[in-house]
Amino acid sequence: MPHLTVAQLADICGGQAKGNTELLITGASALEDASATELSFVGNQKAVRAACSSRAGCLLVPHSFEAHGPWALIRADNPRAAFSRAVGALFPKTRPEPAIHPTANVALTASVASDCFIGAYVSIGEHARIAPGCVIGNGCVIGDRVTVGERTILHANVTVYENVQIGSRVIIHSGAVLAADGFGFTLEGERYEKFPQIGTVEIGDDVEIGANCCIDRAALGATRIGEGAKLDNMVHVAHNCSIGKHVVVAAQTGFSGGVVVGDYAVIGGQAGVGENAKIEPKAIVGGKSGILPSQKIRAGEPVWGIPARPLRQHLNNLANVTKLPEMREELRQLKQELDGLKNRRQLPEE
């Protein structure tokens, strides 16, 4: 693990160093845990208060940061992004040396670049192509005619069915399954008949796919994950979905068949998206939202709830729900008063 000075980290981050710029930084940690040789960052107003009691040797801070303390400072436009670059420099990921493990089963017609690492018990199918710089972890299965782009990493036990295209610099975490059959069946009389799933899956460059994700092949055509998209763990993308560029999807979200998600959309965890729904570019879908089949989510105002509604409407509905007990009591009292009036009107005259 390299040790870097505050000045060196400022150059890496594109920030401005102040204080003891020759201080050697050996690691990074949270504000409350950082030691005198570690780096931390201030990302919001709450963190500013925590920073005042931090023992960190160096803080990455916004230009507006005015507190004074013993730390060295690196001022940056976006401290969180700068911290990410700094941590990458302090904790560089090592790549295994090029090799093909003797237990790997590589088809004779497959093409594997000479600088790739192929782990133990990997299976690579006929006419598959593995580009330079790839790392294929232990136990991965790569089907026939799969193409894997340069410097892509498949962690252990990833399964890629046949005829899949994976771009460059993609990261796929353990347990993910690409191009299993989509959920397509036709009711014939009293039985469901399987609709042939003969399409493919296409993964763009710089995509990251979390552990145990499932991306189904298209019935016809392709299921697509756009360039730079990031899928958290346990996300399901059904047949013929099209996920746009730089879309971010949190864990346990499920997309039904034919869903279209525009570029730079943000999807919260455990959202459920019905078939053929359309989420426009830069739309925001809150966690646990339920999007109905063929529903359109427009860019701009975030949506939340089941079914998904504009956030302001969803919050108004929640406020009304909290008033229901009070409204019920008022209704009970009004009913009692009304019953009393009715009884007095029915009393016989003396």
Condensed to tens digits (0 to 9), the pLDDT of residues 20-42 reads 999 999 999 999 999 999 999 99
Of the residues 173, 239, 246, 314, only one is catalytic, namely 239
Residue type, 287: G
Instruction: Output the pLDDT for position 36.
Output: 93
Q: How confident is the model at residue 82, as a pLDDT?
A: 92
Q: At residue 191, does pLDDT exceed 70?
A: yes
Give residue 311's pLDDT: 59
Confidence bin at 95 (pLDDT 50/70/90): confident
Which pairing describes strands 159-160 and 141-142: parallel, antiparallel, or unpaired?
Answer: parallel
Reported as half-sphere exposure (CB side, CA atoms, 13 A), residue 13 has a value of 31
DSSP state of 323: T
Beta bridge partners of 303: 285, 310
Read off the DSSP letter of residue 51.
H
- Between 317 and 63, the higher pLDDT residue: 63
Distance (Å, rounded) from C-alpha 265 to C-alpha 273?
Answer: 13
CA triple 146-151-153, angle to 5 deg: 70
Domain extents for the chain?
4-90, 99-311, 315-350
Overall average pLDDT of the 59-67 stretch? 89
Q: Give mean pLDDT, residues 87-93.
A: 91
Helix residue ranges per DSSP H, the chain: 6-13, 45-51, 79-90, 311-322, 324-346
Quote the pLDDT of residue 292. Answer: 94
* Whether CATH 3.40.1390.10 fits 4-90: yes
State how far the Cα of 136 lies from the Cα of 112, in Å rounded to an integer. Answer: 11
246 counts as catalytic: no
Residue 350 pLDDT exceeds 80 = no
Q: Per-residue pLDDT tens for 97-135? A: 999 999 999 999 999 999 999 999 999 999 999 999 999
CA–chain centroid gap for 106, Å, is 32
- Summarised one tens digit per residue, pLDDT across range 251-278 is 999 999 999 999 999 999 999 999 999 9
* Per-chain mean pLDDT for the chain: 91
pLDDT at 125: 98
Question: What is d(CA 101, CA 122) in angstroms, rounded to the nearest whole number?
Answer: 8
Per-residue pLDDT, 348: 61
Superfamily the domain 99-311 falls into: Hexapeptide repeat proteins (2.160.10.10)
